[in-house]
Amino acid sequence: MRFLFACALALAALLALAPAQAAVRIKDISSVKGVRDNQLIGYGLVVGLQGTGDTLQNAPFTGQSLQAMMDRMGVNVRSANLRTRNVAAVMVTADLPPFAARGARVDVTVSSMGDATSLMGGTLLLTTMSGADGKIYAVSQGAVSVTGFATQGQAESLTQGVPTAGHISNGATVEREIVSRMPDEGVMNLELRNPDFATAVRIADAINAYSWARYRHHAAVAQSPNSVALSRPLRVSPTHFIAEVGELMVEPDAPARVVIDSRTGTVVIGLDVQISPVAVTQGTLTVRVTETPQASQPNPFARGRTVVTPQTQINAEEGGGWVAVIGGRSLKGLVHGLNRIGAKPPTIIAILQSIKAAGALQAEIIAQ
C-alpha cells in the first residue's frame, strides 16, 4: 500500500511539472452565428482647432456644412466670406456591438476629410450615425483625443503619428436598438474565427462530453471546418447553455504557416512548421565605386589650360559563403539553425522562400 501511495505521489509530481497545454475557452475562438457587430458611419464637423482646420477654398464641402449648421441655428452667413481655419470636416465611424440597448455608449473614431493638418484640441459637434440600411442608430459628440502631433517652422517640420485621426471614448449614444435574438428553436451554430477541421471536432467532442455528463444529451455536431451545430437540451435556455459551453476548454489547432512581411522585415513562424534537412549557404557581394576627381594645371607661363582628371577606384568584397545545415521538427531547432547563419530578417525571408521552392519547407508561406 505504501509503495502504491509513493507511486501516486511521484506521478502527481510529474504531472505538475509537465507543461500545460495551450487550451483556451470555446467562447474565445468561436461566436454564435448571427450575433455580430454592426458598422455605423456619419459625417460631422470638428470645431475648436487652433488654426489647423480645413482651408475653405480647398475644401468647399466644409464651408457648405458650416453654413448649413449656422442656418439651422438662426445665423445667416450666406453672404459672408468665411475664412476660418478652426473647423474641419470629418467622417465618424463606430462598431455597434450586439445586444446594445438604447442609451448605451460606444467608442467612435474621427477621421479628417479635407486638408486639415491636425484635429488636436477639437470637439466633434452633434453627429448622427447610420447603418447600412440608412437608419440612424446613434448620435456622437465630444472632445477628440489625438495621439499624433504636427508642428512646423519656416525651414523644418516635424510630424509624429497621425494627427488627422482621433478617438472619442464612449462618444456615441445608442438611439435605436438592433434586434439581436438568440435562436429559440433549439438549434444554434457556433462559427470558428479560424476555421480548422481538427478544432471543430475538438469543440464538438468537448461539448458532447460535458452535455452527456450533465444532461445525458449529445448536443454538438461538427458540420464543417468553421461551424459546429448545437442542439440545446430541453428545459435549458439558449443563454444559459451558451454560457456553459463557452467556458469549456479546448486546444485549437491550425495549419503550419510562415507569415513574412518584406516591408518591415517581420517573420512569424508557427509552432508546427518543419523543415527537412537542407544545406544553406548565404553570402553577399559588395561592390564599392569611389570617384576622386583631380585638377591638372599647366606649368607657369605655359599656354595650357586647367582640366579635371577623373580618378576611379573599384573594390569588390564578398562575405559569408559558408554552408550550414538547417532542419528540425521543432520551432526551437528551426530558429537555432537560422541563427547559426547570422542572417538579418530580409535574408531570412529570402532563405525561407528558397527552402520552400526546394520543397523542404513543410508549411504555407503567406506574404504580406
Going by C-alpha positions, the residue among 144, 143, 92, 88 that lies closest to residue 116 is: 88
| Contact (Cβ atoms closer than 8 angstroms) between residue 27 and residue 247 | yes
Number of H helices, E strands in the chain: 7, 22
Cell triple for residue 349?
A: 525571408
Cα separation, 325 vs 67, whole angstroms: 72
SS (HEC) of 69-109 = HHHHCCCCCCCCCCCCCCEEEEEEEEEECCCCCCCCEEEEE
Cell triple for residue 300?
A: 607657369
How many other CB atoms are found less than 10 A from the CB of residue 306?
8
Which residues of the chain fall below pLDDT 50? Answer: 1-21
pLDDT for 85 equals 87
Q: Which residues contact 331 (CB under 8 A, 6 or more apart)?
A: 269, 270, 271, 273
Phi, psi angles (nearest 5°) of residue 75? -110, 125
Cell triple for residue 161?
A: 503619428
pLDDT for 175 equals 93
pLDDT for 161 equals 79
Cα separation, 17 vs 20, whole angstroms: 9
| Contact (Cβ atoms closer than 8 angstroms) between residue 100 and residue 178 | yes
Residue corresponding to grid cell 497621425: 162
Q: What distance separates the 2 farthest-apart alpha carbons in the chain?
A: 119
| Contact (Cβ atoms closer than 8 angstroms) between residue 134 and residue 42 | no
Going by C-alpha positions, the residue among 255, 274, 264, 254 that lies closest to residue 352 is: 274
Quick check: helix, strand or coil at residue 158? strand
Residue corresponding to grid cell 481655419: 85
pLDDT for 244 equals 92
Cell triple for residue 271?
A: 509552432
Q: Which residues contact 320 (CB under 8 A, 6 or more apart)?
A: 281, 282, 283, 284
| Contact (Cβ atoms closer than 8 angstroms) between residue 98 and residue 178 | yes
pLDDT for 344 equals 73
Q: Which residues contact 278 (CB under 8 A, 6 or more apart)?
A: 325, 326, 327, 355, 358, 360
| Contact (Cβ atoms closer than 8 angstroms) between residue 188 and residue 242 | yes
Cα separation, 148 vs 166, whole angstroms: 9
pLDDT for 186 equals 67
How many other CB atoms are found less than 10 A from the CB of residue 271?
10
pLDDT for 107 equals 95
| Cα–Cα distance list, 94 to 88, 114, 171, 335 (Å) | 19, 20, 10, 41
pLDDT for 45 equals 95
Q: Which residues contact 354 (CB under 8 A, 6 or more apart)?
A: 280
Cα separation, 356 vs 335, whole angstroms: 16
| Contact (Cβ atoms closer than 8 angstroms) between residue 122 and residue 49 | yes
pLDDT for 182 equals 67
Phi, psi angles (nearest 5°) of residue 238? -60, -40
